[in-house]
Structure 1
Amino acid sequence: MHWFRLLQEESEPVFFSAWFNLLNDGLGGIQEGVLVLGPASTGPFEPRATWPYNTPCSDPLMMVAEQALELCRPVLQRAGTRLLFAVPVIQNNELLGVLALSPLSPGLSIQQKNWMQWGIGWLLGHPAVQAGSGEGELNERLILLLELLMSSLDSDDLEQAAQTVLAQASVSLGCDRISLGFAHKHGIRLFTLANVAEFSRKIDLVQDLESAMEEAVDQGEPVCWPGDEQSLVIRDAHRKLIERHGNHTSLSVPFIRDAEQYGVLTFEWAGRPEPENVELAAAVAPVLGQVLLKGRAANAGSMDMIGRMLKAPCKRLLGAGYLGTKLIAAGVLAAVLFFSLATGEFRINTDARLEGAVNRSLAAPFDAYLEQAVVRAGQVVQKGDLLAKLDGRDMKLELAKLESQQAQYTRQLQLAQANWDPAQAGVVLAQLAQVEAQLNLVRTMLQRTELRAPFDALVTSGDLSQDLGLPISKGQVLFELAPLEDYRLVLDVPEADIGYLSLGQRGELVLKAFPEQQSTFDVSLITPLAEARDGQNLFRVEATLASVAEGMRPGMEGVGKVSVDERKLIWIWTRELRYWWRLSLWKWFGV
């Protein structure tokens, strides 16, 4: 799109916007930039365009631009981690302005500098900055480049577009053969030959062309044979190419986008070429190559894209250096292996509490007044210990009365027997039996005024110390007792975990009162009833302790862990998160 806008030479703002966009693409990114233009050599010079577009540039970059204007030569400076670079715009020895940039890269490669020169060439071709008499040569280059670029944009297929461009370039430059190669693994691979639809990679020509291309890439600059013998440029591969295949001149021009994307255009002439054609080929190739690289990236298959994405990480992992990356990768690999192989015991964590195996309630045997309260809840009692005593004075009076009646009836019975009065003796005998029955009842009730412990126990409920003298109703529960040596463990299991439990599973208990002591238990009962508590549904599960430790008391709380089976540690640690995720998906999306 930017090429079309540049070629159409629309209004000045549109041209400068497209120009800066292309400059940004070719340099691999620009933090900021400014283009300063003015009347040739005289000024005044003013900013005509900035990058990002319509954004004022920073003071350090403007200072570098002013230095380049004053010195009339390139200026390179660093401001912290930023690179500031300014190059004057000169035509026919006249200063037209300056281009100042701050690229994203830490330095400027030869390819980036060439791209900047081409950018300035495009700039000089625009009516807004044209001056001097050097327009003919420049326009010739621009026209040829425009024609080749338009040819490359005619087709979406990269190979067809490259064939079209190379064929047109060979005609325009008088070449016998033009070859295009792209980066492949650790070298250059021939991509296409002008006017050749198919070729075998095993033939000597292809191998010699690839060697010549690699020679140019390794040196990072154009290589021509024959060339200046005083130059330090190595030309062995180009010399062999010419000697073996009969042409007169070969020129290889590399174009580099980054360490993974680069290529070479190799031009060959059968006879001695015009110097202008050689210069034109060297000038056109870098820009044309960048466009072809973009087309190659756009046409790359998914596997190629994945390969390029993975190449850099693999290089950091397997190549020299990058110790930090290797350590991180080793840590990640170790974690993956650990979670893939490591297993652990899967246990259900629950709140637990102790209860007595039997809860015995002691109730008032009759209506009475409370005379004495000996114990309170929390106390340990032995079998037969007095717990409380009811007021028995009324029963004692009743007992004395009945005993008096018993003595009276006994005397009457003796008198009737002495008088040989059987009828009277029978009546008195019946009355005496009735009194004795009443006496037995009163004596029993009098004994029951003393409430005693039926077994060794802990008083779990009942505090009558504040109720002395108050009336007690028959059947009123006064105390609750739990045996000391017989407990059951109650587990409150969340509904999400109840499905993992079964009868007979073993677990471990740690009470808050004894955090350093573990007790084992076995699940004995799973109830089907749930109780809502603290915002969640809890199922009551009962368990039997394998042994009762000294100091255990009903009502103590702690944490129980029920062993289920062996599973992967990653499964155990992410179980709750996965359950929450599944429920959320089902709740919100129905999947």
Structure 2
Amino acid sequence: MLTQTSPPPAAADAWQALARATTGDQLAQAWLGVLCHALLHARAGLVLMAQPDGAYAPVAAEPPAQELAHLADIATEALRQRTGVLRRDEAGDALLAYPLTPADSLCGAVVLDLGPADTAATERARQLTHWGAGWLLDLMRQVDQARVHAGARQARVLLDIVLAVQNEPGQREAALALVHAVGRELGCHQVQLAMAEGSTLRRQAVSHAAVSDDRSQQALLALQAMHEAFDQRRHLLWPEPPAPEGATGMTITAGHARYAHEVGAKALCSLPLEAAHETVGVLLLERDRPFAADEIELLDALAPAVGPLLVLQRDASQGAAARLRRTLRRGVRLATDSAHPALKLGVGAAALLLLLLAIVPVPYHVTAPAVVEGARQRAAVAPFEGFVREAPARAGDAVKTGQLLARLEDKDLLLEKTRWESELEVALRKEREAMAHGNRVDQRLAAAQANQARAQLDLASSKLERVAITAPFDGIVVKGDLSQQLGSPVEQGKVLFEVAPLNAWRVILKVDERDIGLVRPGAAGALVLASLPGQRWPFTVRKLTPVSVPEDGRNQFRVEAEIGGAAPTLSPNMEGVGKVDAGSAPLLWAWTHPLLDWLRLTWWKVLP
């Protein structure tokens, strides 16, 4: 009569662990325990599985805490040859390695330390390992399929809930759709949703309830429970599951306990909803059985998916004032939290600098192009029509008073002078003869002819005195060059030269019409020339010309200023930049007022 013996307690535990395994690692560890207990002479075992990076790492060891480095060589040989390897070490102990090759692909290996086993024991170990390897691969395939099916179901549920929320037209409808969909998919007898308003929560929807009284004791306790998840920013379960080994940190669920005692709930879960890295609401789920791990995983995936949808629905249903208040609160919260301290310090420093630029006054100057001119300029003109005989001076020459600038041809004038001298002598002789004969008519006629000849002679003498064109004072020739026009005719009154003094200057500023209102007679300023950028000459505004002149596409006013003191290094027509004192103003206004003025003018132009 055969008697049935029960497996030892350790083997029974291994079989129970194999039945309860839900992941590949748990399955490998339980399967290895069953195999090692079936091989009573096996001292140690190891299961290696392929990793995403292509390497092979141990996923199960028996005993778990034992050092198994001596199995590395035979494991490497079995993986390289893709066939079972059996050999003995120096001490005579048997080592067995068997590759896991589903569908001709290498996914891992099983390695056993059989100790001092005989030939029959090693053959039995090889057969059991061969049979068990196929069993292990099939169990892992089933676990993978179950995980894929669970993921597909989770994705379907998540999509259904998101679509249910997204298809609603308003915030309240979306909130009701969310609580009803979550309650239906997870088998909850009640689901509550509270949305964040600043640092507090306000209930928005309750499933399976026609009327919700937010002032009731149950509602207040529910808000307290949801506040615990809101403040801790993590999902909370009640009753609390046992903490994993080695886990640190503590969760607060006192509010959940009070609410569960009040309503008689057996299991609670509070889920904070996230959007843009902040908590925007909390879901409170109630049901009669505890929440499983896959359900918690589904809820954790749901939180960031529906949070932004609820925010969009809320924003769409609120007015502009409410959105502005919410934006300001978010800005204040971002500015006062502890995130990004360096960035906030930089922004604060920039804001302080901008405030100082906007309120601290500094001297303000009107800048304009400037040209140097002589304080007075004298023109040397042609005294009569003639021809240029010589012209030793040209523009840029420094001249003294009376220095020759040019000389006109005087041959015709000398001949004319001689002619009129002869005419005068003849007329005088006729006048004397008529006086001697007592002929008063001829005497008067001759006297008139003499007077005419005398006037013409004086005119010719005067012209001869002016054939030399000289400098009226010490200065510099600023205009005129006749050195290439010797012998050419000139007309009477033509300007041949312009002479300016060397010790008296004035500055002509071309002030833009936008700034002319800031310039006043008597205002001080300073001039810097392009040819002498290292020197500065002070000046005083004397006169504003009330007529604008278009230049370079803009209207400019001519402003005359006087340079104080002697400036012997200056020359006429030197150009530079002048700055006129215009009081004081904030530096920010000085930089931006042209743009602001343009905007004001444009706005006035487009107004009806």
TM-score (norm 1): 0.59
Q: How big is each residue's C-alpha offset from its partner over 1:424-479, in whole Å with a ceiling of 9 and x where there is no partner?
A: 99959958777766654444333223333333343233333344455555444433
- Cα distance, 1:224 vs. partner? 2.8
- Cα distance, 1:200 vs. partner? 4.8
Alignment match, 1:297: 311
State the one-letter code of the partner of 2:352.
A
- Cα distance, 1:241 vs. partner? 1.6
Alignment match, 1:444: 462
Q: How big is each residue's C-alpha offset from its partner over 1:213-261, in whole Å with a ceiling of 9 and x where there is no partner?
A: 6269849455233866999886762684278537262422425445423
Matched, 1:214 2:231: no
Alignment match, 1:520: 539
Q: Decide whether the 8 Å contact of 1:162 with 1:292 is kept in 2.
A: no
User: 2:145 is paired with a residue of what secondary structure?
Assistant: strand
User: 1:388 is paired with a residue of what secondary structure?
Assistant: strand
Alignment match, 1:328: 346
User: 2:312 is paired with a residue of what secondary structure?
Assistant: helix
State the one-letter code of the partner of 1:324.
A
Q: Decide whether the 8 Å contact of 2:271 with 2:283 is kept in 1.
A: yes
Alignment match, 2:335: 317
Alignment match, 1:9: none
Q: How big is each residue's C-alpha offset from its partner over 1:460-519, in whole Å with a ceiling of 9 and x where there is no partner?
A: 333333444555554444333334455543333445555655655554333334431223
Alignment match, 2:566: 549
Alpha-carbon distance in 2 for matches of 1:150, 1:197: 25
Alpha-carbon distance in 2 for matches of 1:590, 1:506: 39
Equivalent residues in 2 for 1:423-502 (5 A)?
423=438, 430=447, 440-468=458-486, 474-497=492-515
Alpha-carbon distance in 1 for matches of 2:163, 2:559: 84
Matched, 1:121 2:164: no
Alignment match, 2:211: 197
- Cα distance, 1:584 vs. partner? 7.6
Moved more, 191-200 or 334-343: 191-200
Q: 2:549 aligns with which of 524, 527, 530?
A: 530
Alpha-carbon distance in 2 for matches of 1:341, 1:507: 24
Label 1:325 to 1:413 Cα distance change in 2 as closer, same or farther (>3 A). Answer: closer
- Cα distance, 1:360 vs. partner? 3.3
Q: How big is each residue's C-alpha offset from its partner over 1:252-306, in whole Å with a ceiling of 9 and x where there is no partner?
A: 242544542365554557xxx467x989986886677677645532332447766
Label 1:382 to 1:223 Cα distance change in 2 as closer, same or farther (>3 A). Answer: same
State the one-letter code of the partner of 1:121.
R
Equivalent residues in 2 for 1:29-428 (5 A)?
93-96=142-145, 119-122=151-154, 156=169, 158-159=171-172, 179-182=192-195, 185=198, 191-193=204-206, 195=209, 197-200=211-214, 203=217, 206-207=220-221, 210-211=224-225, 214=228, 218=232, 220-225=234-239, 237=254, 240-241=257-258, 245=262, 247=264, 249-254=266-271, 256-257=273-274, 259-261=277-279, 264-267=282-285, 273=288, 293=307, 296-301=310-315, 302=318, 314-393=332-411, 395-396=413-414, 423=438
User: 2:342 is paired with a residue of what secondary structure?
Assistant: helix
Alignment match, 2:589: 571
Alpha-carbon distance in 1 for matches of 2:464, 2:163: 123
- Cα distance, 1:567 vs. partner? 3.9
- Cα distance, 1:543 vs. partner? 0.8
- Cα distance, 1:337 vs. partner? 0.8
Q: How big is each residue's C-alpha offset from its partner over 1:18-49, in whole Å with a ceiling of 9 and x where there is no partner?
A: xxxxxxxxxxxxxxxxxxxxxxxxxxxxxxxx
Q: Decide whether the 8 Å contact of 1:180 with 1:266 is kept in 2.
A: yes
Label 1:226 to 1:580 Cα distance change in 2 as closer, same or farther (>3 A). Answer: closer
State the one-letter code of the partner of 2:311.
A
User: 1:550 is paired with a residue of what secondary structure?
Assistant: coil
Q: Decide whether the 8 Å contact of 2:229 with 2:235 is kept in 1.
A: no
Alpha-carbon distance in 2 for matches of 1:400, 1:162: 123
State the one-letter code of the partner of 2:474.
D
How many matched pairs? Answer: 470
Alpha-carbon distance in 2 for matches of 1:557, 1:314: 54
Alpha-carbon distance in 2 for matches of 1:402, 1:168: 130
User: 1:455 is paired with a residue of what secondary structure?
Assistant: coil
State the one-letter code of the partner of 1:297.
V
Label 1:385 to 1:352 Cα distance change in 2 as closer, same or farther (>3 A). Answer: same
User: 2:395 is paired with a residue of what secondary structure?
Assistant: coil
Alpha-carbon distance in 1 for matches of 2:413, 2:244: 140
User: 2:463 is paired with a residue of what secondary structure?
Assistant: helix
Label 1:328 to 1:202 Cα distance change in 2 as closer, same or farther (>3 A). Answer: farther
- Cα distance, 1:311 vs. partner? 6.3
Label 1:465 to 1:579 Cα distance change in 2 as closer, same or farther (>3 A). Answer: same
Q: Decide whether the 8 Å contact of 2:195 with 2:282 is kept in 1.
A: yes
User: 1:508 is paired with a residue of what secondary structure?
Assistant: strand
Q: Decide whether the 8 Å contact of 1:253 with 1:285 is kept in 2.
A: no
Q: Decide whether the 8 Å contact of 2:218 with 2:263 is kept in 1.
A: no
Structure 2: give runs of 5+ residues left out of the alignment: 1-50, 60-101, 109-136
User: 1:296 is paired with a residue of what secondary structure?
Assistant: helix
Alpha-carbon distance in 2 for matches of 1:147, 1:550: 89
Label 1:63 to 1:380 Cα distance change in 2 as closer, same or farther (>3 A). Answer: same
Label 1:149 to 1:329 Cα distance change in 2 as closer, same or farther (>3 A). Answer: closer
State the one-letter code of the partner of 1:214.
E
Alignment match, 1:4: none
Alpha-carbon distance in 2 for matches of 1:291, 1:308: 21
Moved more, 432-441 or 555-564: 432-441
- Cα distance, 1:341 vs. partner? 1.4
- Please tell me whether Structure 1 or Structure 2 has the larger radius of gyration of its CA atoms: 2
Alpha-carbon distance in 1 for matches of 2:258, 2:252: 10
Alpha-carbon distance in 2 for matches of 1:207, 1:492: 78
State the one-letter code of the partner of 2:404.
L
| Identical aligned residues as a percent | 25
TM-score (norm 2): 0.58
Q: Decide whether the 8 Å contact of 1:522 with 1:546 is kept in 2.
A: no
User: 1:549 is paired with a residue of what secondary structure?
Assistant: coil
Across the aligned residues of Structure 1 and Structure 2, the Cα RMSD in angstroms comes to: 5.5
Alignment match, 1:511: 529
Alpha-carbon distance in 2 for matches of 1:305, 1:71: 56
Q: Decide whether the 8 Å contact of 2:366 with 2:579 is kept in 1.
A: yes
Moved more, 460-469 or 88-97: 88-97
User: 1:330 is paired with a residue of what secondary structure?
Assistant: helix
State the one-letter code of the partner of 1:225.
P
State the one-letter code of the partner of 1:325.
L
Alpha-carbon distance in 1 for matches of 2:241, 2:480: 114
Q: Decide whether the 8 Å contact of 1:377 with 1:461 is kept in 2.
A: yes
Alpha-carbon distance in 1 for matches of 2:182, 2:409: 127
